[in-house]
Homo-oligomer: A and B are copies of this chain.
Amino acid sequence: MDRRQRKTRERIFKAFTELLSQKDVNKITVGDIIEKADVGRATFYAHFPTKDFLIKDLNEELFCHVFDSVESDGCHKHIFKCEETRSIYLHLFKHLQNNDNGILDLLSGENNELFLRYFKEGLKKLIEKDFEKSEYTGSEELPKAFFINHLAATYVETVRWWVDNNLKETPEEITHLYLTAINLKGHRV
């Protein structure tokens, strides 16, 4: 990809991210973005047909990276290994704490719904894949689909709570809260 393209793309992402942490996404105009990014109007539309696509691409950039770095990391074959230091969940919490890609700015603020929803979907796929590997077929108590949704949703809501409360807990602590909340031991390994 052309260097110019990468640069403008970056600048638009950056400007948009900053704006998102300041005001409601619906109040952000293309004018705002291109001014902050210092980019021509036509250029913006050459990259993104509309603001929704910008959001979509931003989501992909954020989470594909996060999830990929998890999957390619060979030691995470089973999400629920309960060896906490290796847990994929701890891993993700640490990513957050580092504020990789300025993801914290996006998850705090009023627009977090925009990303948490996407995040949840990615998580669900990840968990599902893990379940297939370990040939989990559901418990007597909870049907599989419900359980997967519950695990992902609880994780996302834990993240939301953590971020809203300014990351007071360490990644290890918040991981422990999460695992306790889903009552890991009660369900399976």
- Chain A interfacial positions (CB closer than 8 Å to B): 26, 113, 117, 141-143, 145-146, 149-150, 153-154, 157-158, 160-161, 165, 177, 180-181, 183, 186
Task: Name the distance in Å between A160's Cβ and chain B's nearest Cβ.
Answer: 8
Contact of A154 among B143, B150, B160 (CB under 8 A): B150
Contact of A186 among B26, B113, B183 (CB under 8 A): B183
Bound-complex Cα distance A149 to B153 (A): 12
The answer to whether B117 and A150 touch across the interface, beta carbons within 8 angstroms, is no
29 contacting pairs across A/B (C-beta < 8 A):
A26-B26, A113-B113, A113-B117, A141-B180, A142-B177, A142-B180, A143-B177, A145-B161, A145-B165, A146-B158, A146-B161, A146-B177, A146-B181, A149-B157, A149-B161, A150-B154, A150-B158, A150-B161, A150-B181, A153-B153, A153-B154, A153-B157, A153-B160, A154-B154, A154-B157, A157-B157, A183-B183, A183-B186, A186-B186
Task: Name the distance in Å between A24's Cβ and chain B's nearest Cβ.
Answer: 9
Bound-complex Cα distance A186 to B182 (A): 11
Q: Nearest B residue to A26 by beta-carbon distance?
A: B26
Bound-complex Cα distance A19 to B113 (A): 22
Bound-complex Cα distance A149 to B157 (A): 8
